[in-house]
């Protein structure tokens, strides 16, 4: 089952736990799940470490449980990697692909990221495809051109909002406490929307566009009210109920 994407009515608020959390963190997921059940107009997801996917899926049923990355191949000699069918089997409903921490750590190309998105779709997983520029690119005035090219290169040919979301995560805003300004987010998300429409036609309007990078309870309302922002992808602030629940409440 794909995460149902009913744009623009429903916002998508997603936590990315990165390399944080073990079984002792399940009560946090329980609290997020309870909040999601009380907020049925918002789609809530958490991309947990792979070791927690099954337990999360068994614990929480009002939220979408996701993986943080997959390999483009279904199986093979890829030590330490997980395939789309594996994370699906474990209970994931979606996966993140192309996160800047994966792109940088593993020298991932846009082609590989597109291959991961295609693998996810083949196996019935929804996808959050991440794009975003480093600081030097923004300072050189090239952010929109670079992110547009990144999305064009990573977008699977016949994608649509039934299974695809795109997350704009400027690298300089991740984990720094310095989120992008509302104007910068609006400008970039207009570019993302235009790029989705150019590549996918009317289906491009249905792709949910998320913002990620130092989202907190203090800035979430403003970010979520920005044109073409259909949700947020939250790192640090998704690790505790105290900080993630208020973000869900703002959606």
CB of 214 to ligand 13P, least distance (A): 4
Which residue has 């993140």 as its token pair?
96
Burial of 31: CB neighbours in 10 Å, binned 0-12, 13-18, 19+:
middle
**Residue number, 97 or 200, with CB nearest to ligand 13P:** 97
Please say if 169 is a catalytic residue.
Answer: yes
Q: Within positions 84 to 113, which residues make up the interface with ligand 13P, using CB under 6 A?
A: 99
Which residues of 169-214 form beta strands (DSSP E)? Answer: 208-212
CB of 129 to ligand 13P, least distance (A): 12
Closest CA to 96 of 117, 80, 78, 75: 117
**Residue number, 17 or 163, with CB nearest to ligand 13P:** 17
Q: Is 179 annotated as a binding residue?
A: no
Binding ligand 13P (rule: CB under 6 A), the pick from 26, 212, 224, 229 is 212
Q: Is 172 annotated as a binding residue?
A: no
Q: Within positions 159 to 188, which residues make up the interface with ligand 13P, using CB under 6 A?
A: 169, 174-175
Q: Which of 64, 71, 99, 189 is catalytic?
A: 99
| Cα distance between residue 58 and residue 124, in whole Å | 19
CB of 209 to ligand 13P, least distance (A): 14
Question: Which tokens belong to 5?
Answer: 């994407």
Indicate the pairing of strand 64-67 with strand 94-97: parallel
Please say if 78 is a catalytic residue.
Answer: no
Helix %, strand %, coil % of the chain (to 5): 45, 15, 40
Binding status of residue 45 toward ligand 13P by CB under 6 A: no
Query: Read out DSSP for 122-151?
Result: HTT-EEEEEE---HHHHHTT-HHHHHHHHH
| Cα distance between residue 159 and residue 154, in whole Å | 11
Q: Is 124 annotated as a binding residue?
A: no
Binding status of residue 69 toward ligand 13P by CB under 6 A: no
Kindly indicate which of the ranges 23-31, 69-77, 220-228, 234-242 contains the residues binding ligand 13P, using the contact rule CB under 6 A: 234-242
Indicate the pairing of strand 208-212 with strand 42-47: unpaired
Q: Is 16 annotated as a binding residue?
A: yes
Binding status of residue 214 toward ligand 13P by CB under 6 A: yes
Binding status of residue 16 toward ligand 13P by CB under 6 A: yes
Q: Is 214 annotated as a binding residue?
A: yes
Which residue's CB comes closest to ligand 13P? 235
Closest CA to 130 of 64, 214, 213, 73: 213
CB of 234 to ligand 13P, least distance (A): 5
Residues lying near ligand 13P in the complex (CB under 6 A) are found at 16, 99, 169, 174-175, 212-215, 233-237
Catalytic center residues? 99, 169
Q: Which residues are annotated as a binding site?
A: 16-18, 175, 214, 235-236
């Amino acid at each position: 089952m794909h995460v149902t994407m009913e744009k623009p009515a429903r916002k998508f608020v997603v936590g990315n736990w990165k390399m944080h959390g073990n079984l002792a963190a399940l009560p946090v997921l329980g609290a997020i799940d309870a909040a999601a059940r009380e907020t049925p107009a918002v789609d809530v997801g958490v991309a947990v470490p792979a070791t927690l996917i099954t337990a999360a899926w068994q614990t929480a049923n009002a939220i979408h449980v996701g993986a943080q990355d997959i390999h483009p191949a279904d199986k093979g000699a890829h030590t330490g990697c997980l395939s789309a069918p594996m994370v699906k089997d474990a209970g994931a409903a979606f996966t993140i692909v192309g996160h800047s921490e994966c792109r940088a750590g593993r020298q991932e190309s846009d082609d590989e990221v597109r291959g991961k998105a295609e693998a996810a779709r083949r196996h019935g997983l929804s996808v959050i495809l991440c794009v975003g520029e480093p600081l030097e690119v923004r300072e050189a005035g090239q952010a929109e051109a670079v992110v547009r090219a990144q999305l064009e290169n990573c977008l699977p040919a016949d994608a649509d909002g039934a299974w695809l979301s795109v997350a704009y995560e400027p690298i300089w805003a991740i984990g720094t406490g310095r989120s992008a300004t509302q104007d910068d987010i609006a400008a970039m998300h207009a570019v993302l929307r235009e790029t989705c429409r150019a590549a996918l036609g009317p289906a491009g309007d249905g792709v949910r566009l998320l913002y990620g990078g130092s989202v907190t309870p203090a800035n979430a309302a403003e970010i979520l009210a920005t044109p073409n922002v259909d949700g947020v992808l939250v790192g640090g602030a998704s690790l505790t109920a105290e900080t993630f629940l208020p973000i869900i409440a703002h959606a």
